């Protein structure tokens, strides 16, 4: 085996082990917090954590045909006001995150805001979630943005067969002790 192949295999083993929280050689890696030492899925215990003000922002985009954007702006989509419905759906979804993602904690959300901006290519959704809790609100922001995008897709699917949802990601998260 060439040293190049050995290096590649060593890197692959190290990367695989890292995702499981194992130690490879002398390097200790972080472990997945939702996996117990015996490999079972578990909810993370946050009871000892201090309450903090937390905020997360997630965004995502949907590619829409120009004609679809025109119909949305004129409120001529048969199912109703697309962006108003998507905002409400995103907010409702963020509030239900713990029911959708099995190991998420139920959080008392103080604010969930969904903003939608259009461009020539389609629309961008931004979901902001805030709480005072012992764990973050990243998943709530991501779920809110994703469901808002899915709602736009659902409401426009009869008139636009080329829609694409893409680039859903967490753009920021903050934590301040209270």
Domains of the chain: which residue ranges?
52-177
**63 pairs with which residues across the strands?**
122, 164
Q: What's the average model confidence in pLDDT over 3-23? A: 49
Can you tell me the distance from the alpha carbon of 66 to that of 137, in angstroms, rounded to the nearest whole number?
Answer: 34
Which bin fits 80, alpha (ψ -120 to 50), beta or left (φ > 0)? left
Q: Would you call 162 helix, strand, or coil by DSSP? A: coil
pLDDT at 77 over 70: yes
pLDDT at 130 over 60: yes
Question: Can you give the pLDDT at residue 22?
Answer: 47
Which bin fits 105, alpha (ψ -120 to 50), beta or left (φ > 0)? beta
Give me the CATH topology for the region 52-177. Alpha-Beta Plaits (3.30.70)
pLDDT tens for 27-65 read 566 666 667 677 776 677 677 778 899 999 999 999 999
How far apart are the two ends of the chain, measured CA to CA in Å? 57
Q: What's the average model confidence in pLDDT over 141-146? A: 98
Question: Can you give the pLDDT at residue 73?
Answer: 97
Residues labelled as active-site residues: 154
pTM value is 0.79
127-166 burial by CB neighbour count: b if 16+ within 10 A, else e? bbbbbebbbbbbbbbbbbbbbbbbbbbbbbeebbeebebe
């Amino acid at each position: 085996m060439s040293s190049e192949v050995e290096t590649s295999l060593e890197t692959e083993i190290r990367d695989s082990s890292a995702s499981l929280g194992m130690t490879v050689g002398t390097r200790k890696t972080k472990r997945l917090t939702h996996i117990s030492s015996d490999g079972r899925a578990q909810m993370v215990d946050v009871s000892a954590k201090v309450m903090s003000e937390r905020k997360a922002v997630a965004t995502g985009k949907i590619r829409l045909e120009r004609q679809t954007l025109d119909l949305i702006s004129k409120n001529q989509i048969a199912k109703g006001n697309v962006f108003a419905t998507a905002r409400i759906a995103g907010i409702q979804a963020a509030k239900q995150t713990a029911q959708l993602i099995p190991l998420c904690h139920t959080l008392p959300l103080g604010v969930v805001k969904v903003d939608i901006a259009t461009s020539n290519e389609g629309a961008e959704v931004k979901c902001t979630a805030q709480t005072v809790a012992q764990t973050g609100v990243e998943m709530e922001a991501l779920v809110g943005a994703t469901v808002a995008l899915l709602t736009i897709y659902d409401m426009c699917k009869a008139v636009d067969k080329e829609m694409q949802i893409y680039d859903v990601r967490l753009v920021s998260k903050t934590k301040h002790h209270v």
